[in-house]
Amino acid sequence: MGHDAKEMMMAYQIDLQGKVALITGASSGLGAQFAKTLSKAGATVVLAARRFDRLEALEREITLAGGKAYCVGLDVTDTNSIESLVSNTLSKVPQIDILVNNSGVSSTQRIVDVTPKDYDYVFNTNTRGAFFVGQALGKYMIERAKVAQDAGNSAPAQRIINIASVAGLKVLSQISTYCMSKAAVIHMTQAMALEWGRYGINVNAICPGYIETEINAEHWQTELGKKLIQKLPRKRVGQASDLDGVLLLLASEQSGFMNGSIISADDGLVIT
């Protein structure tokens, strides 16, 4: 068998060795899964959230599995906390190559029952928080690219992955503010991609469908949850690991030709 044939038969792998990924909302749910997935692919991960005790537990888990992980405190509703995010992160790692902009909350009620407090609760985290975290990392990544370009080198491959939602593409009942906030994240993604692409920064978004996490696991066992499952295209909810493939693609250099892409990972919900 020739050398080329052997190469073709080798398993294809995404290797993030030497890369550093910052994950917001990493204390539970999708954020924790994203951190573990990127670590398994070789990346050093920086875990950011408000619940520092949960971050420390995840850091220990990743370290025991042979990965490298660090914790930084972050409240995305606090501008001062966001402003110190990059410097706090760089006190632990040499650079930041990947941002997974993941923090998010939801509120369930009919539109006529939404209060200003409900509205602000969702938008301050999902839209305002995501925007200013993205802005902070964008400023850092642009400066890093300019330094490389001024030295006669190409800009480093840098990635921002915004976690939006199928609810930003398809209106879902009784979570209007959540749908609106995630629709804004989708447009934010494309705006960032348009402005920052020249610096080697690829900005893309993942739009998950219904995913089971520790926060909502009990809901899927209730009568209401079971009824909702029956309305889904394949009558099932996803697992956090179902997002691993698209996450790794967008974090890697293999996604170099993807910028401003909005990728649904929803089991077909958006097309129903």
State the pairing for strand pair 44-49/158-163.
unpaired
The set of residues, in sequence order, having a beta carbon less than 8 Å from that of 110 and lying 6+ positions away, is: 174, 176
Q: Which of 195, 15, 23 is nearest to 96 (CA)?
A: 23
The C-alpha atoms of residue 130 and residue 233 are separated, in whole angstroms, by 30
For residue 83 the two structure tokens come to: 């402003």
Q: Which of 70, 140, 178, 210 is catalytic?
A: 178
Range list of H helices, 154-260: 176-196, 223-231, 244-251
Is 178 a known active-site residue?
yes
How many Å is the maximal CA-CA distance in the chain? Answer: 69
Q: How many CB atoms lie within 10 A of CB 201?
A: 24
In 102-229, DSSP assigns E strands to 158-163, 201-208, 211-212
For residues 32, 34, 40, 44, the Cα torsion angle rounded to the nearest 10 degrees is -90
Active site residues: 178
